[in-house]
Chains A and B, each alone.
Chain A
Amino acid sequence: MFRTRSVVLVLVLLGLVLLAGALPAFAQSKVKLTVWGRDLPDDDPAHQYIKKVVEGFQAANPDIELDYVALGDPGLMDKVKVVMASGSGMPDIFQSWGGSVMGGYADAGRLLDLTEELAHIECSEAAKGAMTWKGKVYGVAPFFAVAGVFLNEPVFEELGLTVPTTVEELEAVADTLLANGIQPFACGARDLWPTLALYMYLVDRYGGIDAFEKARSRQIRFDSEPFVLAAQKYQDWVKKGYFGETPLSEAYGDAQVSMAIGLAAMHVTGSWMCAQYSDPEFTDQTLGFYPFPEMPGGKGKLTDIMGQTDIGFAASITAADKVDAVVRFMEYAMSVEACSADPGRICSVPGVPAPSRLTQMAAEVFGTAEAIQFWWDQDLPPAVTTPLNTTIQSFFMPETDVKQALAAYEDLVAAALGPVK
């Protein structure tokens, strides 16, 4: 009896030892996927998509160990830049807005070409184009944002105003709002980049959809007519007080609050604000989303739309030996299941319903687009993007000579991209 017990005990111990020995081997067979993102996967309404991706992907793929790291803004961009420069410590996948920044990494050989692997994933052409560089696809963009005019509908109704379809009507609306003590536009000029959306539209409405592309490809200068006219109009509006008395002190967050409490009536910005502007806990105002008006006599059309990636993912060369896991992550990121979790962004995946009236309106603006211009600061190389925003910010200073400011910017562009051919 004692002998039998001893044998069983020895066998059990032997089994445990073998199991313990096998466990690391089993664990090693699990692929580890490191993903760097901007937002925390928490309960914040704006983070619902990323939360779903992190939790849903892990649950659906138990053979992959997902290590998601939230780095914030601008932490994500800064850290990605540093590791891409050093070539070591790169994540397998990182959140990317595509465009020229992603292109810079691709040119340096840091990204994984997934053109064939992602070809079967369905999405809008604009979103696909955003994650494509020199004919190669490096990632996916489940959400795409368009710029337009958020507008306080009850205020318009109360003052008998209609949604403007021309810039002249827009100015008349702004004058009426101003006369009634309401700030026409919220902006957030202190943070630089929020000033760009309106300028992109003004240049487009004066010079047409190809004005920017011509300047970028060095066929015309950045201080040529449409750019100067748009800048003059912008500064004219600043001087009239359309952006309030202290626009350069106001951050993007202040602009949102101004809209949320009805202090300002219009906000020209990206559709990523749909979730927040639909959230009854954030605002009790009813806002609508409309395309930016046309310029009488101008070349741009109501259907020329400015857009950019809202959320996207690209893969680094580090993941070359785990392409299958990367593709499975990209597929899940582009799934209806994951995308449906977002409460406000415009989804580029077919079959995902718009989560709110505001998103539906933005999606309709996107749907009517005949031409889409990629957001300038994503389309230009990094060397000249912040100087562009700084130049536009200077339009808010009454003493700025906009022609000189644009000429100085053109000199910078010429130094970085070469002179006009």
Chain B
Amino acid sequence: MSGSPDAAPLAQANWHEVPRKKKYDYGRLIFQLLFLLPAVAFLLVFMFYPIEETFRTSLMQTSGVGESTYIGLENYRALIFGVHSEEFRAGFVHVLIWAFWSIVIQIPLAFFIAFSLVAYKSRFTGVLRVVYYMSSIIPSTIVAMLGRFVFAPKFGVIATLSKTLGWTWLARIDFLGDSGNVFWSLFAIATWAYIGFGIVYLMANIEQISADIREAAELDGANRFQYAVYVVAPMVSYPIRILAIINTVGCLKLFDIVYLMTQGGPRYSSTTLAVVLYRQGFVNWHYGLAAAIGVVIFLMSLFLSVAQFSLQRRGGDIA
């Protein structure tokens, strides 16, 4: 057939098509680049350049106003071993404590509330879901003001209630001024403010568990607590792990509620890395030190984010 007179034009046509396929489609490339350009420019200007500048500034002695001097790793040394170490170490330790207790307290609490809302579904479930989530959408300034109003001595909610009930021991507790109590006072407010997201996130996952599994557990004689602990919790372990990482990264950046309620005090009793960063940069005019703290927060967040992605890869989709 190939030697037939009709085959010759076809072969000629195929011979012509081969180089056409190899030809690069520059129009398409330009089109792709044009669409990528805004995103790339945005990332370069608002993400990579500030990160590079933060790293560079962390090696300088600068007040932000006037000249800068290169001092190598001196800012890091001052933070870890030098005159600023007390405040930095306090901030560093506090974010780790925050992260620990948020995993130990906030996540189990969010899980049990989410489970209760799913397991004991009623006509109030929707309303309760809104109520729990509402705290998450209230601006942190308002949350901090409410927190101050609750814990304020003499005229606060707790002080007034305890006076009304005659509980003088409660009225005497210094919630925000005692270095032993201040963490738990702030943690209580933060738990209220941030738990809503965890509840809604876990509810969405628990609701996806098949009803057959629940029936099977009931047939095996499991009560609701056992069903929650031994069946549901393992099934939502992946979202719980993700929530733990989100909480930990959030703790590293914790600023608003702490600064607005106590400014990190008394002394450094409730300070966090972000509060130390703000104070060094914008109050004490130590831009270099503030940048060094920013680098520490960035590296810790990066490490946790990598861990999060690695978990996602291993955990796969929600069961």
Contacts and interface: CB of A to CB of B under 8 A. Distances in A.
A72 to B, nearest CB: 12
A250 B266 CA distance: 11
Given A104-B63, A104-B285, A415-B82, A192 B151 contact: no
A258 B154 contact: yes
B153 interface: yes
Given A105-B65, A412-B83, A245 B265 contact: no
Interface residues of A, number: 43
A393 B66 contact: no
Given A249-B152, A258-B154, A415-B82, A78 B262 contact: no
Contacts of B287: 85
A149 B290 CA distance: 38
Given A190-B262, A248-B265, A415-B83, A386 B283 contact: yes
A390 interface: yes
A90 B241 CA distance: 47
Contact of B266 (A108, A258, A393): A393
A397 interface: yes
Interface bin, chain B: 35 or more
B108 interface: no
B284 interface: yes
Main secondary structure of the interface of A (DSSP, over half): helix
A355 interface: no
B263 interface: yes
Contacts of A393: 265-267
Contacts of A244: 153-154
A286 B179 CA distance: 36
Contact of B279 (A250, A386, A399, A412): A386
B155 A257 contact: yes
Contact of B155 (A81, A104, A254, A382): A254
Contacts, number: 105
The residue among A192, A246, A249, A390 with the most chain B CB atoms within 10 A of its own CB is A249
Given A107-B66, A382-B285, A397-B179, A246 B153 contact: yes
Contacts of A245: 153, 172, 174
Interface in A243-261: 244-251, 254, 257-258
B86 interface: yes
10 contacts: A81-B282, A85-B287, A108-B65, A246-B154, A254-B154, A258-B154, A383-B63, A383-B284, A385-B284, A412-B84
Question: Which 9 residue pairs of A and B lie closest in terms of their CB atoms, listed nearest first?
Answer: A248-B177, A249-B177, A246-B153, A85-B64, A246-B174, A108-B66, A108-B65, A394-B267, A249-B176
Given A81-B282, A393-B265, A415-B83, 15 more contacts: A78-B282, A85-B64, A108-B65, A189-B177, A190-B262, A244-B153, A249-B153, A250-B154, A258-B154, A383-B284, A384-B284, A386-B283, A387-B284, A390-B265, A390-B267
Interface of A: 78, 81, 84-85, 104-105, 107-108, 110, 189-192, 244-251, 254, 257-258, 263, 381-387, 390, 393-394, 396-397, 399-400, 408, 411-412, 415
